[in-house]
Amino acid sequence: MNDPILTTQTPAPEEAALARRTLGVPALVFLIIAASAPLTVLAGGATTSFAVTGELGVPVGYLILGIILVFFSVGYGRMSSLIQNAGAFYAYVTAGLGTRSGIGTSFLALVTYNSMQIGLYGVFGFAASSIVGDLFGITAPWWACALVGWLVVGLLGVNRVDLNAKVLAVIVALEFVIVVAVSLLSFSVAPEGVTVEAFMPEHWITGSFGAMLAFGIAAFMGFESGAIYSEEAKDPARSVARATYIAVGIIALFYAFSAWAFSVGVGPSLMVAESQQWGPDLMFVFLGQHVPAIVTNLAAVLFLTSILAAMIAFHNAAARYFFSMGRARVLPSILGATSTRSGAPVAGSLAQSVLGLVFIVVFAASGAGSDLGPLYPVLTMFPWLTNAAGFGMVLLLCVTSVAIMRHLSRDPDRHPVFLRLVAPLIAATGFAVIAVLIMVNFDVMIEAEGFSALVVIIPGIIVGSGLAGLAWGQFLRSNRPEVYAAVEQATIG
């Protein structure tokens, strides 16, 4: 007898459906931007990029990456109007490059989204532990704080997606308020005057340009997630594309503007040195010098909720990949179970939560007694998994660009040459270059001193997941042809 809340029998796509017509353009934009975590990027991503690259031109890197993503979004938006599937990347690659490639992409996407979501538990636990200690004088281990975040994410993950969108809308709005306030404060302080020094060529056309792009791309991860919610959008043929264009534009311009403004506030000549000294704490040190302590504490709390918002967004994305792959029976069909009450991909959500719990426990055990002390999760769990995810995302974007080009070019009369060929080709080339740059700079990205086996192992796991997917696709083709034949129908109809 079936559970009254779950639909677990999923041999055909129509028998397992997500909540329909619940998300409009504004909700999609909030879901997308929440994954990109504006406050986390300014406080953590931008300062880290300034520190590691040793260059002032970080804002230019965000603009260049934004341009590449706009070219990608042109074809991606068109594909979202043609194909509505919760496994966006793998559905598009299946349409463009074939079923086996699509299955390979699904494995790569699943590992990528789970890596990003789980890696964030490390920095969330550390930040929460620090805030609890500073505000209440309570010593709480990072893993206990991470488990609290895990519980909140897990509970929201099995509820209606529009509830998630409402929670994220509030958090994202508050993030924007804080970042705008920091930017305005920076212009009012401006110890060296309001200058465009950060945009001068000598600060970004350097040997560190590759590292700048490699670090910057992680800030955009999540921009593509609108298509994952296409089955739940009110008008999927139009709203997903519109939300993606809006989100990419906002993210690129806002990141570039806020990073530039912050450099003005700290002082262009001091920005790199101060970032290297303070790291992600620089924004709070800056605020502490110019505003009352209560404002700094509020910003710290919102920094924490910013990370939480990103975890919720990536949890939802990973859950929908589990759902899509389970529905297509590429993975066990139980993963295609949805809640009849909320329409949430409840089995996929629970699977993601179990993975998160396992990693929190493993890193908590391995970090016990470590010489790194409280910094253990932010020097291991966070950079290892999130940089792996960044690399995986670039590979996904590159492969998907090629697939978009192939699929749209089959109907040249319907799709203009710029949309079907020029834009995706530029995007694919850009992402291929960034993938190489990440490989070359991976030791810097995980802050390895000298040679580290992780420089090979972590990217190897990401590439290996895609290869494992290709092998599984070949296995299905040879041994379960009925499943293999149904994948195309289950993904693209």
Q: Compute, in degrees rounded to 10, the torsion defined by CA atoms 466, 472, 473, 474.
A: 120
Asked whether 76 and 399 are in contact (CB, 8 A), the reply is: no
149 in Cβ contact with 121 (< 8 Å): yes
Confidence (pLDDT) at 246: 86
Task: Write a three-state SS string for 63-82.
Answer: HHHHHHHHHHHHHHHHHHHH
Query: Which of 222, 223, 231, 242 minimizes the C-alpha distance to 320?
Result: 231
The rounded distance, in Å, linking the Cα atoms of 286 and 295 is 12
Burial class for 143, CB neighbours closer than 10 Å (0-12, 13-18, 19+)? buried
- For the chain, the 3-state helix, strand and coil shares in percent, each to the nearest 5, are 80, 0, 20
CA atoms within 13 A on the CB side of 32: 30
The alpha carbon dihedral of 365, 462, 114, 104 has a sign of: negative
**Nearest-10 crossing angle of helices 282-290, 271-278:** 110
- Alpha-carbon distance of 210 to 366, in angstroms, equals 33
Using the CB atoms, write b or e for 264-293: b if 16+ within 10 Å: bbbbbeebbebbeebbbebbbebbeeeeee
In angstroms, what CA-CA distances link 477 with 186, 330, 466? 59, 11, 17
User: Between helices 99-136 and 381-408, what is the axis angle to 10°?
Assistant: 150
Secondary structure of 380-431 in HEC code, one letter for each residue: CHHHHHHHHHHHHHHHHHHHHHHHHHHHHCCCCCCCCHHHHHHHHHHHHHHH
> What's the pLDDT at 184?
96
pLDDT at 8: 35
Helix axes 161-189, 142-157, angle to 10 degrees: 130
Q: Which pLDDT does position 206 carry in this prediction?
A: 84
DSSP state of 474: H
Would you give per-residue pLDDT tens digits along the chain (493 residues)?
333 333 333 334 444 555 555 677 787 887 777 767 788 888 888 888 898 888 999 999 999 999 999 999 999 888 888 887 766 788 899 999 999 999 999 999 999 999 999 999 999 999 899 899 988 888 899 999 999 999 999 998 888 766 666 777 788 788 888 999 999 999 999 999 999 999 999 999 887 888 788 778 878 887 777 776 777 777 776 788 888 888 888 889 989 999 999 999 999 999 999 998 887 889 999 999 999 999 899 999 988 988 988 898 889 889 988 988 898 889 999 998 887 777 788 999 999 999 999 999 999 999 998 998 888 998 899 889 988 998 999 999 999 999 999 999 999 999 999 999 999 999 999 999 999 988 888 888 887 777 789 999 999 999 999 999 999 999 999 999 998 888 877 565 5
Angle CA 65–409–403, to nearest 5: 50
How many C-beta neighbours within 10 Å does residue 67 have? 15
CA distance 331 to 325: 6
User: Do 441 and 211 meet the contact criterion of CB atoms below 8 Å apart?
Assistant: yes
Q: Is 197 left (phi over 0), alpha (psi -120 to 50) or beta?
A: alpha
CB burial class (10 A; 0-12, 13-18, 19+) of residue 100? buried
In angstroms, the CA 133 to CA 139 distance is 6
Each residue of 297-309: b (16+ CB within 10 Å) or e? bebbbbbbbbbbb
What pLDDT, on the 0 to 100 scale, is given for residue 481? 92
Residue 444, number of CB atoms within 10 A of its CB? 16
Helix (H, G, I), strand (E, B) or coil at 233: strand
Number of other CB atoms surrounding residue 185 within 10 Å: 18
Model pLDDT, residue 9: 37
Confidence (pLDDT) at 196: 94
DSSP state of 23: B
Q: Domain 14-492 is of which CATH architecture?
A: Up-down Bundle (1.20)
Helices 209-220, 58-82: crossing angle, 10 deg rounding? 40
- Nearest Cα neighbor of 208 from 88, 352, 49, 332 is 49
User: Cα(107)–Cα(133) distance, rounded to whole angstroms?
Assistant: 40
